[in-house]
Structure 1
Amino acid sequence: MSKDQLYALDNLVNDSVKAPSEHLTNRQLRVRVVVILISWFCLMALLAGCASVGTGAQNGAEADTSGAGKNGSRNVIRIGYQKGNTLNILKVNGNLDKRLKEAGYEVEWKVFAGGNFLLEALSSGSIDFGHAADGSGVFAQAGNKPFVYVGNDHPNPEGMGIVTYLESGVQSIADLKGKKLAVGKGGNHHYLAVLAIEKAGLKLEDVQFVYVKDASEGRAVFETRQVDALGSWDPFFAAVQTDLEPMTLTDGHGYSPNRTFYYANEQFAKEHPEQIRTILEEIQVSDEWANTHKDDVSKLLSETQGIEKAAIELAVKRRTYGVELFNSEIINAQQQLADTYYRIGLIPNPIKVADRMPLDAPWAVQGPVRSK
């Protein structure tokens, strides 16, 4: 009830009390007393209800940033994943859920449409652990979000590339001068395009970048010849290759390792290093299974993502699954990406990625991740 409505009810009661009663009958007086009592009881109940609702809303607005979430007496680790990637496979396999249950934890899985959304949830404390592309970590650090890198997948340079249609007249990256190239701004394939264009001796302004919001829009403008070339990433890159049979100008080889990273909420990482180690070990278990069961993985991911199996098979075939812990090579490659994003204006300030990639973290000091 609004403040105005409460005032109206209060005035109604006051008016009843102040009204002259010398001319009222006994029956009318009794009715007036009953009305006054009912009105005051209603007013007190409404005020109590408003106070209760206000307290609940205030508590609900407080984000849980205390590390692993708690649901009653249960310890819950909240993991964010994207369809089609390694954590999706891990979720289906169920080995992590089983191992953490033995340690007294339950896993709550949350799916996200993209890495930037996932890292935003991670930083706010809505999830504890997740995975996203290399660029997502750079954007999050530039925004001073509270997270740390905890590991990464094997490089996958073949999992992104730049294509053109056969009739475009474009035979190499250098031929993109004056042409239109569609990319998702800040994506791994955008980074690839920047490096490839500059290596070809062109300036970035020599190419007309057409920024698209997602892979489907990129494919649409490419298929309808609104652009001359398209940058994309797996499995959408593989789908373009299998469906449209374009000319591939380059993939990531010689430019970018194209790593997917594992991230943890900063406070969760401080309070639960053993659980992070467990998660990484069980990802490795799942990844080893994936490397020897690629037909099963292709079937699973095709059903999950709604993409033709031929495209998924190509994406899975050219990928080697496995978890890596940080070293100077990985840090340097990620720093080069961050420096490039700052140079071309994608992030507002320079960052030092090593600050978020601890080499001596408790989950990393035992050496390479091995399956149990």
Structure 2
Amino acid sequence: MRMKRRDFLSLGLSTAALAACSKVANVPSTTSIATPVAPNRGTNSTTLRLGFQPPYVAVYALREQKLLEKAFAGQSTNFEFRRLLSLKPVTEAISAGAIDLGLGGTPVAAIASGQPIRIIALVERSPKTHALLVLPNSPIKTIADLKGKKLGNPSGKSYYFAGKVLERAGLKENDVKWVQIENDAGGAALLSGAIDVWGTWDPFYASAEVAKEVVPLVDGEGYQLNYVALFGRIDYIEKNPEAVQKFLQAYKQALTWAKDNRQAAVNILVKENKLSPEAASLTLGRRNLIFEPPNDEYRQELINQSQLLTRLGLIKQKPNWDRAIDTTLAKTIAAS
């Protein structure tokens, strides 16, 4: 079941309730984005387009610190930043050739379906940033109580965290009613009763929690490692390895800046995402920023995810991780 804003009205959700989404998940809902960085002057003009999601503070640091301009000094390169609300729009944009690189949880189902995506670096390991949320007065008190309930999230049945939670509790995927709903609309749907439980992540989770509109039934700790990866379109990576490495170097510097300048990083999240200071601080506090090439722990997590999705019938074949993972581009930079 895929739910869009117009569908809320048929479920009895008023315009006022839709506006409440801004209160519950106080993050702008637009999926379009960013103004290109002006190119440096040089002989060859190229463009590097990045799709990212709201909580990735290093992207904002890249722009504010002008780290890409420094990394690509002397070259005529345009940089475009496109803000997208969840993983699926990022992978769709990569496959359509609308962006070159993306940030997010690993798109296992997309890679399994043959989309031309390659993973090149790990930039977070943050399990506690995901949660299944319910209203404070909800009758749902345990995972077993989810049976027969409507579970909304952007990925539907392919949301690995939710699937793992159900499996461990002895529930089957058809024991809940899956509602595919984007992050900027999930809070309003939960408030209205259109869904019973909301699967989401920071900053949407943090905003809802700080506003005391929801409580977490369970978070991702112990269910998923939640590595955040940098990945890209295979043909772009193969044709532009030097540009990709320069981008990785700049992104690593942005991560270091965010870790060394916590309050400034919080302030960026407040400004860019229209978050409260409390929600921005909570969002950053649950994120473990790293920079390293894909490792064995990460590969095993991907195997676990693909096995679960195969059992659920959501993918027909397991991805070829040897083809989908490139450790070479990030190795030198991680060691520097």
TM tier, smaller: 0.7 to 0.9
Unmatched segments (≥5 aa) in structure 1: 1-68
Number of the residue aligned with 1:66: none
Number of the residue aligned with 1:184: 154
Number of the residue aligned with 1:287: 255
Number of the residue aligned with 1:156: 126
Say whether residues 1:90 and 2:65 are aligned partners.
Answer: no
Q: RMSD value over aligned CA atoms?
A: 2.7
Number of the residue aligned with 1:349: 317
Alignment of 1:255-334 (within 5 A): 255-334=223-302
Q: 1:139-187 CA deviation, whole Å, 9 max, x = no partner?
A: 3323322231111212111111012223223222122223332222348
Q: Contact between 1:212 and 1:218, CA under 8 Å: does it hold in 2?
A: no
Distance 2:195 2:209 in 1: 16
Say whether residues 1:197 and 2:177 are aligned partners.
Answer: no
Say whether residues 1:213 and 2:178 are aligned partners.
Answer: no
Distance 1:191 1:345 in 2: 13
Change (3 A) 1:303 1:187: farther
Q: 1:261-289 CA deviation, whole Å, 9 max, x = no partner?
A: 11133233223323322222221111111
Q: Contact between 1:80 and 1:118, CA under 8 Å: does it hold in 2?
A: no
Alignment of 1:1-372 (within 5 A): 73-82=43-52, 83-85=54-56, 86-102=58-74, 104-114=75-85, 115-134=87-106, 137-186=107-156, 190-209=159-178, 211-359=179-327, 361=328, 363-366=329-332, 369-370=334-335
% identical aligned pairs: 24
Q: Contact between 2:134 and 2:198, CA under 8 Å: does it hold in 1?
A: yes
Bigger CA radius of gyration? 1
Number of the residue aligned with 1:43: none
TM-score, scaled to structure 2 = 0.78
Aligned-pair CA distance for 1:357 = 0.5
Aligned-pair CA distance for 1:340 = 2.1
Q: Contact between 2:292 and 2:330, CA under 8 Å: does it hold in 1?
A: no
Aligned-pair CA distance for 1:348 = 4.1
Unmatched segments (≥5 aa) in structure 2: 1-38
Q: Contact between 2:124 and 2:229, CA under 8 Å: does it hold in 1?
A: no
**Aligned length in residues:** 295
* More helix by percentage: 1
TM-score, scaled to structure 1 = 0.71
Distance 1:202 1:140 in 2: 25
Number of the residue aligned with 2:34: none
Q: Contact between 2:61 and 2:257, CA under 8 Å: does it hold in 1?
A: no
The aligned amino acid for 1:131 is L
After TM superposition, the runs of 4+ consecutive aligned structure 1 residues lying more than 6 A away are none
